[in-house]
Each structure stands twice: as structure tokens, then as C-alpha cells.
Amino acid sequence: MRACVRTTIALAVAAALLVVAGGAAGHGGSRSQGYVSSFSSLDPPVLGLLVNVFGPRNRMQVTNYSGKTVVILGVEREPYLRFTGKEVEENRAAPTAYLNASEPVPPSATKDAPARWRPVARGAAYSWHDHRINWQGAQPPPVVENEPDTAHLIFRWRIPATVGAKAVAI
């Protein structure tokens, strides 16, 4: 039994070291490589609203079990995503819809345009790539260029939203 526990611990430590080594070497190449976005708080907290950032492209996921409509606001504070608990809709009149898809923003997509909601998911959860939570520069930030083998806080991000009529920040 003790040998089995020791083997399990040794394998876990080896796997952790591989993960750390892979991340430390990852500042070159693709923009998302070597950068990790993380979620730390919902202000104020909302019972039943879950947020997570995951994967190599730092996808953001929101799950709404709150019983209220949640609207994620875009870069110009326009309604971008709407979570009803039964489905998720994207506002095709929101500039953020195009920016996050890395598509040109059409002239009809403005912060003041009437919302054009279209379903993007059934259920309470949806994940997307949000440029606001990722380093977007073609070159590493100066602090990373100066010390590439050290972990750095590049920037703090904040995504505005509403739950019912109440403003919240992710």
C-alpha cells in the first residue's frame, strides 16, 4: 500500500513539473502561448453565477443558475451576451461580437444600435474567447522581454455585466 501511495505521489510531482516547465518556456510564438488569464472574483458575488477561464486560448465561461437574466457588456459597454438560464444569445449589433471573433466590425454594429439577439447555446453555460482578458500585443510586454523566465502580472482585467438590473464586475 505504501509503495502504491509513493508511486502515485511521484507521478503527480513529475506531471506538475512538466506543466511548470512547459509554461515557463512558452513566451514565444503565438500570442496566447505562455500567458495565463485567471478569474478571481465577481463583485458583488451572485449566488448561482459561475465564472471560469480555461484552456490554452484562455476561454471565458459563464454559467447562469441565478434565476435572473445576466448580460455581459462589451468593450463599449453595449449588451454583448445574454444568459437567460435556458439559453445564451449574442447581440450581432455589438462591436464586441466581431472583435472577439477577430472579424471586421461592420458599420451597423455600434454601442447604440438596437440589439439583434441570436441564440448561440442552449442551457445555462457558454464559453468564448474574449480579447479583453488576453495579452493582444504582437510582441511580449517589456517586463516579459526584460525577464522572460519570471512570472509577471501583465494586467488586471475587468468585464462589466448586469444581473437583473444590478451591475456586477467579473
Q: What is the DSSP string of 17-61?
A: HHHHHHHHTTTSSSTTTT--------BS--TTEEEEEETTTTEEE
Q: What is the pTM of this model?
A: 0.77
Range of the domain at 35: 30-169
> Would you state the pLDDT for residue 31?
44
Question: Is 23 within the bounds of a domain?
Answer: no
Average pLDDT over residues 17-24: 35
Task: Check if the beta carbon of residue 91 is closer than 8 Å to that of residue 71.
Answer: no
Q: How many whole angstroms separate alpha carbon 58 and alpha carbon 128?
A: 9
75-89 pLDDT, tens per residue?
Answer: 999 999 999 999 999
Question: Is 83 within the bounds of a domain?
Answer: yes
**Beta-sheet strands, E only, within the chain:** 49-54, 59-64, 70-73, 79-83, 87-91, 117-122, 125-128, 160-163, 166-169
Q: How many whole angstroms separate alpha carbon 132 and alpha carbon 60?
A: 10
Task: Place 21 in a pLDDT band, splitting at 50, 70 and 90.
Answer: very low
Q: How many domains does the chain have?
A: 1
> Would you state the pLDDT for residue 130?
94
Question: Is 123 within the bounds of a domain?
Answer: yes
Task: Check if the beta carbon of residue 64 is closer than 8 Å to that of residue 48.
Answer: yes
> Would you state the pLDDT for residue 38?
84
Name the residue with higher pLDDT: 61 or 2: 61
- What average pLDDT does the chain have? 83
Name the residue with higher pLDDT: 4 or 140: 140
Question: Is 107 within the bounds of a domain?
Answer: yes
105-125 pLDDT, tens per residue?
Answer: 999 999 999 999 999 999 999
Model confidence at 55: pLDDT above 60: yes
Report the 10 Å Cβ neighbour count for 23.
Answer: 14
Question: Is 14 within the bounds of a domain?
Answer: no
For a pLDDT cut of 70, what percent of the chain falls above it? 81
Q: How many whole angstroms separate alpha carbon 8 and alpha carbon 14?
A: 10
Model confidence at 71: pLDDT above 80: yes
CA distances from 23 to 2, 17, 51 (A): 32, 10, 23
Q: How many whole angstroms separate alpha carbon 90 and alpha carbon 96?
A: 10
Question: Is 24 within the bounds of a domain?
Answer: no
Name the residue with higher pLDDT: 154 or 12: 154
Question: Is 75 within the bounds of a domain?
Answer: yes
> Would you state the pLDDT for residue 33?
62
Question: Is 90 within the bounds of a domain?
Answer: yes
